[in-house]
Amino acid sequence: MLIYDGQCAFCRRELGRLPKISGGSLAAESFRDPGVPQKHGLTMAQCDEEIHLVTVGKVYAGAEAVARVLMGHRWFRLIAWGYYLPGVRAASDAAYRWVARRRACYTAAGVVAGVGGGFRPPPWEGEKP
Q: Where are the domains of the chain?
A: 2-125
What are 11-35's pLDDT values in tens digits?
888 888 776 776 666 789 999 999 9
The amino acid that residue 12 corresponds to is: R
Residues 48 and 57: beta-carbon distance below 8 Å: no
What spatial distance separates the first Cα and last Cα of the chain, rounded to whole Å? Answer: 44
CA distances from 124 to 45, 66, 81 (A): 20, 27, 35
pTM of the predicted model as reported, rounded to 2 decimal places: 0.75
pLDDT of residue 120 exceeding 60: no
User: pLDDT > 90: what percent of the chain?
Assistant: 41
